[in-house]
Amino acid sequence: MLWQALCQFGRQLVRRRPLELGEQAPENRLSRCLSTLDLVALGVGSTLGAGVYVLAGEVARNKAGPSIVICFLVAALSSMLSGLCYAEFGARVPCSRSAYLYSYVTVGQLLAFITGWNLILSYVIGAASVARAWSISFDNLIGNHISQALQGISLHVPGILAEYPDFFALGLVLLLTGLLAIGARESALVTKIFTGVNLLVLSCVILSGFIKGDLHNWQLTELDYQRANNTCTLGPLGTGGFFPFGFDGILRGAATCFFAFVGFDCIATTGEEALHPQRSIPLGIAISLFICFLAYFGISAALTLMMPFYQINVDNPLPEAFVYIGWAPVRYAVAVGTLCALSTSLLGAMFPMPRVIYALAEDGLLFRGLARVHPRTSTPVVATVISGIMAAFMAFLFELSDLVDLTSIGTLLTYSLVAFCVLVLRYQPDQNFSQNEKVFEMKPEPVKKFSEFVPAVGTSETLKSLHPVNTTPTLRSGRVVYGCTSLVVILLMILCLILAKWPRYLFSGDLVYAGVVVTLLVLIIGFTFIIWRQPQSDTPLYFKVPLLPVLPLISIFVNVYLMMQMTVETWARYGVWMVIGFAVYFGYGIRHSLEKNDQQLPDLSSPTLHEAVSTTELL
């Protein structure tokens, strides 16, 4: 009885949701009103925010110098890898659930809930932090009168609460919550206006920087620094030139700049509100990432050309740069652009937040009342109000500087799961994912060995997988890909841990570490070759990720490596959030899931069930 109960519990955790497309798809309850231009504006607005006005100065001053332009190039290429994976799923699954649904149809219910829970964390903290940044920027513009008036109300608890409650940020979030509740069309109109103003200001800044810039600022020497600061050496500021901090500075700068591109995934949540989702979502993601890269590249180049990198003001880089070149009045136009950029970033963070909550609630994994759609505006009104109140409360009370890295962990984990799902789903037989599974009576069956589900290295099954007979995916080839991909991800995690935590041993020539890394690389290449030899699905899509399986695996490697850079304190806070999520899932979601209520149990041949049973056996 205990064994049967454990098996049944394992099946509940890996229940997959079938893709319901065409006539099988449920009726769309949201309003289809967003064009490709709306999606591009939403993606650019949510991505091209505070980073372009603050991040560029911090990275150029302390990490990369003029080579920041290369940092943004590397970060853009890394983000494009994740964007390609999102684009294929947007063409394959035109629904509002984004990465949450992608995980649900591929790796099962538990990981789907974890993905959705991480997205909620990223959007709530992102919205609250941007609202507080908006308030600080506006306060600086009017002479710091707001902060001076509120500093008498002290709530400061170091590392947790802010120095004073921010009523302005609270009101701003609630105002935009009301705008989002009115309708997606109105929100998209405001986003387009703010994004247009932001891009106009940035274009003027870039043009001004190229006009007044001096190429000598990309070729600085210690003599220039000595003349400016009466100091004989740059010291911690590098050695001058275009690469003052060397190759390590480029890598550290690229890791920071990567987070400037976070936000484009909100486009994937508009599947039920886009007019032509299978075409608009891939185009929206690609175009928005390209526009953001051009803006970041141009701003960083203009900034480092206008003034020496070691004189950049980290907190207020662009306005101070115009003061440096003698164009002080232009800083007010830059301030307007800053507020517009922060406004679009705030809308970009708040727009997908209620839609993820709505998706989880509609599937029964969160409280069903959160899935209510207003009959007139066709928006998830309850989810919008609840999520807006959460973000407003955090912006009102909390000091978010110590919590911002939480959004990075949640986003990077989500990106990795999407890349994993794209890779696995491409090699599965179509009927497993695009049609409803039959309701059947589960019959007792003897437990199979682990080797029957995941081929072991050196067995005849592995050799057979190198020479597939079929040209279309089968259940067997799908199991091979699922097992090999899981093993590759585990190996990549070990490799990233070594590279992030013990690089000095590796690069110092330590034979033990070098041998471990070489072994890991050989195994990764071997399993990747096995995956490559399996037949792919020939289902026609508007967009498909090229160069499978290499590109998704590279994306996973980059994301995992960046996650390994997080501090122990950040991982501890993330653990607290996940404990709350598991309490919600195991206390409510697993018992109220629609997949359970509809008795849609997974096929015995599904790789997710195979893995659950075999893992249970090993334990």
**Residue 239 belongs to some domain of the structure:** yes
Reported as a single tens digit per residue, the pLDDT across 107-139 is 788 888 988 898 888 888 878 878 887 887 787
352: CATH: 1.20.1740.10
DSSP states of 417-460? HHHHHHHHHHTS-THHHHSPPPP------PPPPGGGTSPPTTSH
Q: Are residues 249 and 301 in the same domain?
A: yes
**Residue 19 belongs to some domain of the structure:** no
List all residues 6 or more positions away from 562 whose beta carbon is below 8 Å from its beta carbon: 255, 258, 408, 412
Number of domains within the chain: 2
Q: Are residues 421 and 464 in the same domain?
A: no
Residue 398 β-bridge partners: 161
Q: Which residue has the higher pLDDT, 125 or 386?
A: 386
**Residue 233 belongs to some domain of the structure:** yes
**Residue 1 belongs to some domain of the structure:** no
Q: Are residues 396 and 488 in the same domain?
A: no
Reported as a single tens digit per residue, the pLDDT across 397-455 is 776 666 666 777 877 888 888 899 889 888 888 644 433 333 323 333 343 443 343 44
**Residue 4 belongs to some domain of the structure:** no
Q: Give, rounded to a whole angstrom, the gap between the first and last alpha carbons of the chain.
A: 17
**Rounded CA gap, 441 and 459, in Å?**
34
Q: Nearest to residue 242, comparing CAs of 205, 210, 216, 212? A: 216
Q: Which two tokens stand for residue 344?
A: 């679009």
State the amino acid at position 308 in one-letter form.
P
Q: Are residues 146 and 286 in the same domain?
A: yes
Q: Nearest to residue 344, comparing CAs of 183, 126, 181? A: 126
Residue 257 is given by DSSP the state H
Q: Nearest to residue 604, comparing CAs of 594, 614, 619, 595? A: 614
For residue 214, give the 3-state DSSP assignment: coil
Residue 486 has pLDDT above 50, yes or no: yes
**pLDDT for res 216:** 87
> pTM for the whole thing?
0.75
Q: Which two tokens stand for residue 511?
A: 């034979």
Q: Are residues 414 and 518 in the same domain?
A: no
Q: Are residues 381 and 496 in the same domain?
A: no
Q: Which residue has the higher pLDDT, 199 or 523?
A: 523
| Separation in Å, CA 307 to CA 189, 311, 436 | 37, 7, 61
- Tokens 């003897």 belong to 446
Q: Are residues 495 and 412 in the same domain?
A: no
**Residue 530 belongs to some domain of the structure:** yes
Q: Are residues 395 and 489 in the same domain?
A: no
**pLDDT for res 184:** 60
Q: Are residues 374 and 277 in the same domain?
A: yes
User: HSE (CB half, 13 Å, CA atoms) of 186?
Assistant: 11
Reported as a single tens digit per residue, the pLDDT across 149-163 is 776 666 656 556 667
Residue 285 has pLDDT above 80, yes or no: yes
**Residue 575 belongs to some domain of the structure:** no
Q: Are residues 268 and 129 in the same domain?
A: yes
Q: Are residues 66 and 128 in the same domain?
A: yes
Q: Are residues 323 and 198 in the same domain?
A: yes
**Residue 475 belongs to some domain of the structure:** yes
Residue 274 β-bridge partners: 34
Q: Which two tokens stand for residue 426?
A: 């491409």
What is the torsion angle, in degrees rounded to the nearest 10, for the CA atoms of residue 326, residue 329, residue 330 and residue 336?
Answer: 150
Task: Give the structural domain span for 526.
Answer: 449-566
* Residue that terminates a domain, selected from 526, 543, 566: 566
